Amino acid sequence: MFAVVKTGGKQYKVAKDDVLKVEKLDGEAGTTVTLEEVLMVGDDKGVQVGSPTVSGTVVTAEILEQTRGNKVLIFKKKRRQNYRRKKGHRQELTVLKVLEIGKGAAKKAAPAKAAAAKTEKTEEAKPAAKTAAAKKPAAAKAAAETKAPAKKAAPKKAAAKKPAAKKTEEK
């Protein structure tokens, strides 16, 4: 079984136990990552192409290490102008090992349950926040009474106009 995955603006054809270097992904070595942008899945039976992605299919991979690629040299030159600029760049990469290509519906159900639990917790916390908010306006009014009233800026004086320049007559 193989899949075509999009990550970091590039597309990779992967199979189980493949090791590949991709653009940097967040995570430490040893953690698992799910690549959800699966463009195509193929096996012995045939090929399934997504439009644009194959829904419900994810690729699970393990981060082996965070590394940097080879140095790429950027050299600019304009002949006979004594203009030369040399720069270098090393792209940060993540080395992945593909663990599984399969359905991700069961894995997505767990985050949905976690999101529902979070909303319940926030609803419980809201009444306590309302009591704290009720106390704040009284404190704000007391602070406003103790402050001196703001002074208005003095009006600006109009600038005096200069007389127009006299034109000279030509003969």
> pLDDT tier at 169 (50, 70, 90 boundaries)?
confident
Domain residues of the chain, as ranges?
A: 2-74+83-109
Residue 122: what pLDDT? Answer: 54
Residue 129 has pLDDT above 60, yes or no: no
> Where is average pLDDT lowest: 6-20, 74-88, 109-123, 145-159?
109-123
Q: Quick one: which of 92, 96, 101 has its CA closest to 30?
A: 96
168: Cα within 13 Å, side-chain hemisphere: 2
- How far out from the chain centre does Cα 85 lie? 32
Q: Quick one: which of 107, 72, 99, 96 has its CA closest to 86?
A: 72
Residue 131 has pLDDT above 70, yes or no: no
pLDDT in tens, 33-70: 999 999 999 999 999 998 899 999 999 999 999 999 99
Residue 113: what pLDDT? Answer: 47
Residue with tokens 């349950």: 113
pLDDT above 90: percentage of residues in the chain: 54
Residue type present at position 117 = A
> pLDDT tier at 159 (50, 70, 90 boundaries)?
confident
pLDDT in tens, 91-107: 999 999 999 999 874 44
Residue 125: what pLDDT? Answer: 54
User: Which H or E run contains 106?
Assistant: helix 105-146
Residue 12: what pLDDT? Answer: 96
> pLDDT tier at 117 (50, 70, 90 boundaries)?
low
